[in-house]
A and B are shown apart, each in its own frame.
Chain A
Amino acid sequence: MLKQIEGSRAVAEAVAMCRPQVICAYPITPQTHIVEALSAMVKKDELAAEFLNVESEFAAMSVAIGASAAGARAYTATASQGLLYMSEAVWNAAGLGLPIVMTVANRAIGAPINIWNDHSDAMSQRDAGWLQLYAETSQEALDLHIQAFRIAEELSVPVMVCMDGFLLTHASERADVPEQAQVDAFLPRYEPRQVLDPAAPVSIGAMVGPEAFTEVRYLAYERMRQALGVITETAADFRAQFGRDSGGLVRPYLAEDADIVVVALGSTLGTLKDAVDELRGGGMKIGVLGITSFRPFPADAVREALPGRRVVVLERALAPGAGGIVTADVRAALNQPQDIATVIAGLGGRAITRKSLRAMLTAAAAGELGPLTFLDLDTALVDRELVRMRAARRSGPSAENLLRDLGITASRIG
């Protein structure tokens, strides 16, 4: 049914239709609306689940671990500092092979504290052993959750559905919310591969030494390899059941004949496609490759989509001391040396505007884009602080110095 609906609400309704049995959450912006909605559904007996208000994100993931190991379908949601705070348990859930589904409402990591969107949080858990699926729209966020439970349970691997904080979680968009019967037909009952059962007791979580640790880790790698196929098949089945394209590994847009292809994840793709449409009108051959599955990284699909192309990777996170996080994977996926530029954009909620993208892409087409660019960087502001730091040892806290220089109190996102 088509609805004008907030992204968080759409996700909550999708999660509820997946019939999770244990939901646990700790509040952190911008994930809160999702679990608030779910808690109300449980309280009104619309959703037969146990809802636990826990004392931290570390506890939230730990509760999910216990619930999943006991054979229940478990769900939680978090963002930013919360994801980092639960990090130890995030890795543990993957290591134990527990098919937990978690929404990450992508948000920057402090310091400086910042509640707005970028991908630093999820990227920090890149190697935790979770699948990471990035939603482009509210509709896709909704759809990916339904797919996520099926993928997770088929593989016995946890899945993170990443949706841009505020941009998707708090935006009201049109979304097709499916019927319960459709979801039931798509998502089978959870049959755990391992379960805590007094009638057939097993020990789970024993210490593994050098004699088998490599092999256990290899199996994690192997399951991720299998996940590439399962994600593709699940998206195809989803299309058959629900009649729309959602999920999958990558999503090319006008990439076939392009000279330059921009690789990106998440909600930026919409703006990016609009900018590409405009530039195509002016004769520039630019295309887009959206990456839906960041983990596992679909190296083959990326390589096939970028044959000999010049590549711009638009990143919403920064690896200080290295540059682009997605860039490293894209570069590794390509067999031949190709021209790859990294553009760091949209950190801490700074809007990625069509205008800025047009300028950046025009520069790229003219061969004027360097290997690493910070989109819309206020270089004068940075330079003033650098001068200050050279001038005096006790130059003070940088973030606060910049804010003082800016002299504005309201958050500027553009």
Chain B
Amino acid sequence: MPYQRIKFYQTGSFAVGNRLLAQDQRSEQASPGRSNALTCGHRACQGCGEALGARYALDAVHRATGGKMIAVNATGCLEVFSTPFPETSWQVAWLHSLFGNAPAVASGVAAALKAMGRTDIRVVGQGGDGGTVDIGFACLSGLFERDDDVLYICYDNQAYMNTGVQRSGATPPAARTATTQAVGREPGNRFGQGKNVPLIAMAHEIPYVATATVADLRDLEYKAARAMDFRGARYLHILVPCPLGWGSAPADTVRVARLAAESGLFPVFEAEAGQVTSSTPIRRQVPVSDYLRLQARYAHLFKPEENTEVIGRIQAAADRNIRRFGLMSPANERGGSPAPATAISLGRAAP
């Protein structure tokens, strides 16, 4: 799919007006013949970012593969809310095995297809952040290292939402979860070193790594489809706000995701063979407090009075992302100027 550079913004949003685009450039979701890989009637919460992200991602893969795809799902919200039998929401061949093994099961499916001479059928593994960055991490790294022909998608809602909002390795600092409660001298999750799986994926030098959010669904569609242009291990990390776990309004899911990107907290980029090839520029930078304020998991940062020290540390992390990924440089945009892509360092930069 050629990337659309002309931007027609709808009033009050940055969404591209679908009807202003040529037929072949419109969103797969605008197609009456779309696959609806994850169809309606599932039991996700109102405003679920994961359900939104999964439908767009898988429909884009479905279109890119002509429907020849198999999905392997880790245990988690997506698995549970989509399959209250007999009402499975999956319109694609779909397998769930365990919480921690989705990447390896996907490798097995890909190996079987190769052995049977059916490499025309493509494999997608998917799971939440717990299944990806924590319990499934060894299997994910193995998949990357072997360069098995699988696209693995992580729907990152930054905690174990399915079991009741417990902290995961992807939970950001200061966020309140059921196991990092907003109590004590340092309420919420501790400031750790973080576990940036997109960068870890890049360190494996796999063909394609990308991040996306449900705020920019055309970008998400593009990246899911783009991933299918490659063979070998590919990784797509999608930020999917969780109204239940984040304490945000269901109607604000897309807004919260947009603020995560526009504040710099969640850098949106793509990389090939270990090198960043594009990053989505911030169009209108916002302070991190704009993002934090919408979420009850950060309420302790604003009440009884504003915790400027902690908010400052979070802002510093966002600022560092902006520098590191060149998020204020339109030249780094995909299809942008011919200037070389941002060369980001995998090591920790000096503060």
Contacts and interface: CB of A to CB of B under 8 A. Distances in A.
Interface of A: 21-22, 24, 48-50, 52-56, 58-59, 62-72, 74, 88-89, 92, 96, 196-198, 200-208
A52 B141 CA distance: 14
A22 B108 contact: yes
Given A70-B70, A89-B101, A198-B68, A56 B112 contact: no
A96 B139 CA distance: 20
Counting chain B CB atoms within 10 Å of each CB, which of A49, A50, A200 scores highest?
A: A50
B104 A67 contact: no
B100 interface: yes
Contact of A63 (B83, B96, B107): B107
A52 B72 CA distance: 18
A398 B106 CA distance: 44
Contacts of A52: 107-108, 111, 146, 148
Contacts of B70: 70, 196, 198
Contacts of B146: 52-54
Counting chain A CB atoms within 10 Å of each CB, which of B69, B88, B105 scores highest?
A: B105
B104 A204 contact: no
A69 B95 contact: yes
A168 B72 CA distance: 38
B138 A50 contact: no
B116 A201 contact: no
Given A59-B142, A64-B108, A92 B115 contact: no
Counting chain B CB atoms within 10 Å of each CB, which of A52, A68, A197 scores highest?
A: A52
Contact of B139 (A62, A88, A207): A62
A24 B121 CA distance: 21
Given A66-B104, A66-B105, A69-B95, A201 B90 contact: yes
Counting chain B CB atoms within 10 Å of each CB, which of A49, A59, A65, A88 scores highest?
A: A59
Nearest to B69: A198
A166 to B, nearest CB: 29
B142 A69 contact: no
A412 to B, nearest CB: 37
B154 to A, nearest CB: 17
Interface string B60-97: 00000001111011000001100111001011111111
Nearest to A26: B142
A202 B94 CA distance: 6
B108 A196 contact: no
Interface residues of B, number: 44
Contact of A66 (B84, B91, B112): B112
Contact of B108 (A56, A67, A205): A67
A158 to B, nearest CB: 13
Nearest to B90: A203
B55 to A, nearest CB: 16
A198 B96 contact: no
A215 B253 CA distance: 40
B190 interface: no
B7 interface: no
B115 A54 contact: no
Contacts of A54: 104, 107, 142, 146
Given A63-B108, A71-B112, A203-B83, A58 B101 contact: yes
Given A198-B68, A198-B93, A208 B112 contact: no
B72 A66 contact: yes
Contacts of B100: 58, 88
A73 to B, nearest CB: 9
A160 B109 CA distance: 21
A70 B142 contact: no
B112 A50 contact: yes
A153 B13 CA distance: 56
Contacts of A56: 138-139, 142
Given A198-B70, A208-B85, A21 B97 contact: no
A92 B112 contact: no
A282 to B, nearest CB: 56
A101 to B, nearest CB: 14
Contact of A206 (B88, B106, B109, B116): B88
Nearest to A200: B93
Contacts of B88: 203, 206
A178 B114 CA distance: 28
B45 interface: no
B113 interface: yes
B306 interface: no
Counting chain A CB atoms within 10 Å of each CB, which of B67, B141, B142 scores highest?
A: B142
Contacts of B68: 198
Contact of B97 (A74, A96, A202, A208): A96
21 contacts: A22-B115, A53-B146, A58-B138, A59-B138, A62-B107, A63-B105, A66-B95, A67-B115, A70-B70, A70-B112, A74-B112, A92-B97, A196-B95, A205-B79, A205-B95, A205-B96, A206-B84, A206-B85, A207-B79, A207-B80, A208-B85
A198 B108 contact: no
Given A63-B105, A63-B108, A88 B92 contact: no
